[in-house]
């Protein structure tokens, strides 16, 4: 045998050995899955009525307008048959080439083999045809309520995305090439990654998005110097050390969302909003929420308001010896800040001088992409989950949010980890994304039922803390920062609620990019710009059409607005005082607690 022959045999033997290891790992996979306690069905699939109603509407359409239905079917059948014939003709001519391909560009199919190899190209083109046929069928179904149509569209798209040929080893050229190049080692590494993720989550498949070993809170993320100056069962209050000799008289307290952790605003020094604010001469306080366990089952929105917002504001006033603070609320924390301001108005409490809202919804009349998850069958499932476990476990919320961008946050990472055997990237944003928090049972049910489903805050008012609170009770100077491509809190929905406040001093900003990148957008990046328009009586379309666009981040514009409500300059304040001795260094202890599985 030649040297090349010996090398080929050795490579083949190595491949077979690695494939034997795959069989061993498969036994571990079976073992972990045998102990899997699946999430209740209501949280993984829609009520059968969604598809039953769609099938009924489609059947009615066929009876009443058979021509349109048959035209759709004939178009699909015609394209499929022609595609098959074209491929056969190429082979009959002795050409190992793909037929003409006019399918749209899709980054999932970036490997050249999807274009040049007749096998892969045939599969790709047929998948594209199937996907188009499904979407057209859904779009043309009549006699379905709008919410049912939105749900059907969402779940049919999930099926389309799941069935992409890139998601299967035998039809993914990247994975097959990698397996051959590595003599099967990539398959072993991928299976090990899969088993690792399953074992870490009691058999529940949650794709790890980042290399967790690359990050340590307080070391290379959440590093802005500060102290924990107060703690109760709901939160730790962090006060950051000054970096200027003088600071604005009125302090700033930031309320981050408790769905995730506060350090999205303090990932790294170069993109930390917290550090930037400190450097602008503000005394910055941040609430770090508790990561609840089952003992928090009876904690509701009222507890977040009383023991979180009102307590934090009170302690900040004591620490700085000021009668007022400026406040910031991000996402759900912005929604609750609106509730708190309405309550303070009822009580005659003027402790908040101005409020800023990041990506904040208050009017839920249009539920947008969350429509599938805000119907009774899904919320019933969450209520049952909360009753059984005392909370909505973090991974359920994380998975739900990920499916809104399934190709980017589920299938793409799964392919890289499980098929290609790659280690997740050391990406701080993805690390934060996976470091979630649970939601107390009572709070999440109240939020979904009373705010999202019933839209009480902008309708007849919501009963909380002994008062009836309404969006019109918000009268302090306010600024809202929203994001143009935000799919979680769409800017037009944020605008609709913002318009219903009764504040005389109102500023509304639309930043380019999405829910995170549009907010965490430091001046040094010179990246996403923003839109402003003082005429808040316009509808959203006209507001944006007539808005002024400014290159770069909104941070300096907000600084100008905020500083006008922040009083004179005074000597810088170190964290804590005699009544609030520092308990520990920032970022504190609560942020390091992992979510209950």
Asked if 325 and 313 count as a contact pair (C-beta separation under 8 A), the reply is yes
The radius of gyration of the chain from alpha carbons, rounded to an integer in Å, stands at 27
Strands (E) located in 325-447? 325-330, 352-358, 391-392, 439-440
Three-state secondary structure call for residue 287: strand
d(CA 143, CA 181): 53
Both structure tokens of 103: 């399918």
Q: What is the DSSP string of 251-273?
A: -EEEE--SSS-GGGGSSSGGG-H
> Would you call 494 a catalytic residue per the annotation?
no
Secondary structure of residue 240 in the 3-state scheme: strand
Structure tokens at 502: 């009764």
Q: How far does the chain reach from its first CA to its final CA, in angstroms? A: 57
> In whole angstroms, what is the distance from residue 164 CA to residue 159 CA?
9
Rounded CA separation 288/228 (Å): 9
The owner of tokens 């993320």 is: 221
The whole-angstrom separation of Cα 437 and Cα 592 is 11
Query: Token pair for residue 54?
Result: 């769609």
Say which of 331, 452, 479, 494 is annotated catalytic: 331
Give start and end residues of each alpha helix (H) in 201-252: none
Q: What is the dihedral of CA 407, 412, 415, 418, to 10 degrees?
A: -100
Which H helix or E strand runs over 464?
strand 462-464
Contact 515, 489 (CB under 8 A): yes
Whether a cis peptide bond, with omega within 30° of 0, leads into 587 is yes
Q: Are strands 235-240 and 226-231 parallel, antiparallel or unpaired?
A: antiparallel
Query: What is d(CA 500, CA 595) in angstroms, rounded to the nearest whole number?
Result: 36
Q: What residues contact 159, with CB distance under 8 A and at least 6 apart?
A: 134
Look at strands 284-289 and 462-464 and give their pairing: unpaired
Give CB contacts under 8 A, 24+ apart, made by 303-307.
303/234, 303/440, 303/443, 304/234, 304/258, 304/336, 304/443, 305/336, 305/339, 305/340, 305/343, 305/464, 305/465, 306/465, 307/232, 307/233, 307/234, 307/235
The DSSP result for 194-212, as a single string, is HHHHHHHTTT------S-G
352, 344 Cβ separation under 8 angstroms: yes
- Give catalytic residue positions: 331
């Amino acid at each position: 045998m030649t040297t090349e022959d010996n090398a080929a045999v050795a490579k083949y033997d190595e491949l077979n050995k690695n494939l034997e290891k795959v069989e061993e790992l498969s036994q571990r996979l079976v073992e972990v899955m045998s102990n899997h306690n699946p999430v209740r069905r209501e949280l993984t699939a829609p009520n059968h009525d969604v598809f039953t109603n769609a099938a009924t509407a489609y059947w009615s359409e066929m009876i009443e307008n058979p021509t349109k239905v048959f035209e759709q079917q004939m178009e699909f059948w015609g394209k499929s048959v022609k595609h098959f014939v074209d491929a056969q003709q190429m082979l009959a001519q002795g050409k190992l080439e793909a037929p003409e391909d006019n399918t749209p560009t899709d980054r999932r199919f970036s490997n050249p083999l999807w274009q040049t190899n007749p096998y892969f190209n045939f599969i790709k083109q047929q998948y594209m045809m199937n996907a188009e046929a499904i979407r057209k069928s859904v779009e043309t179904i009549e006699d379905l309520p709008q919410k049912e149509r939105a749900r059907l569209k969402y779940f049919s798209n999930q099926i389309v995305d799941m069935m992409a040929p890139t998601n299967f080893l035998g039809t993914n050229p990247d994975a097959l090439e990698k397996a051959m190049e590595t003599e099967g080692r990539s398959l072993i590494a991928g299976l090990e990654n899969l088993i690792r993720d399953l074992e870490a989550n009691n058999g529940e498949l949650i794709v790890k998005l980042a290399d967790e070993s690359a990050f340590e809170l307080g070391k290379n993320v959440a590093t802005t110097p500060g102290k924990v100056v107060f703690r109760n069962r709901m939160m730790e209050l962090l006060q950051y050390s000054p970096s200027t000799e003088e600071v604005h008289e009125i302090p700033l307290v930031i309320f981050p969302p408790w769905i995730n952790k506060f350090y999205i605003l303090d990932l790294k020094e170069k993109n930390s909003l917290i550090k930037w604010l400190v450097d602008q001469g503000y005394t910055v306080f941040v609430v770090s929420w508790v990561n609840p366990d089952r003992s928090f089952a009876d904690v509701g929105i009222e507890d977040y308001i009383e023991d979180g917002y009102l307590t934090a504001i009170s302690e900040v006033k004591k620490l700085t010896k000021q009668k007022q603070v400026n406040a910031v609320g991000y996402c759900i924390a912005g929604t609750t800040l609106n509730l708190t301001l309405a309550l303070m108005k009822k009580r005659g409490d003027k402790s908040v001088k101005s409020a800023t809202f990041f990506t904040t919804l208050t009017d839920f009349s249009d539920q947008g992409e969350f429509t599938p998850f805000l119907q009774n069958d899904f919320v019933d499932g969450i209520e049952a989950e909360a009753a059984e476990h005392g909370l909505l476990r973090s991974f359920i919320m994380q998975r739900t949010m990920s499916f809104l961008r399934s190709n980017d946050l589920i299938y793409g990472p799964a392919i890289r980890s499980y098929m290609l055997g790659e280690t997740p990237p050391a990406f701080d944003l993805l690390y934060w994304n996976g470091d979630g928090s649970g939601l107390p049972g009572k709070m999440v049910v109240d939020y979904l039922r009373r705010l999202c489903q019933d839209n009480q805050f902008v309708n007849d008012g919501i009963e909380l803390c002994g008062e009836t609170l309404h969006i019109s009770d918000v009268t302090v100077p306010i600024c809202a920062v929203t994001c143009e491509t935000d799919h979680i809190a769409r800017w037009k929905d944020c605008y609709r609620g913002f318009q219903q406040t009764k504040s005389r001093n109102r500023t509304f900003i639309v930043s380019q990019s999405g829910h995170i990148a549009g907010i965490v957008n430091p001046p040094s990046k010179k990246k996403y710009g923003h839109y402003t328009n003082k005429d808040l009586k316009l509808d959203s379309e006209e507001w944006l059409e007539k808005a002024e666009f400014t290159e770069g981040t909104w941070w300096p514009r907000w600084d100008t607005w905020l500083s006008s409500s922040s009083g004179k300059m005074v000597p810088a304040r170190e964290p804590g005082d005699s009544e609030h001795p520092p308990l520990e260094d920032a970022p504190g202890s609560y942020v390091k607690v992992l979510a209950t599985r």
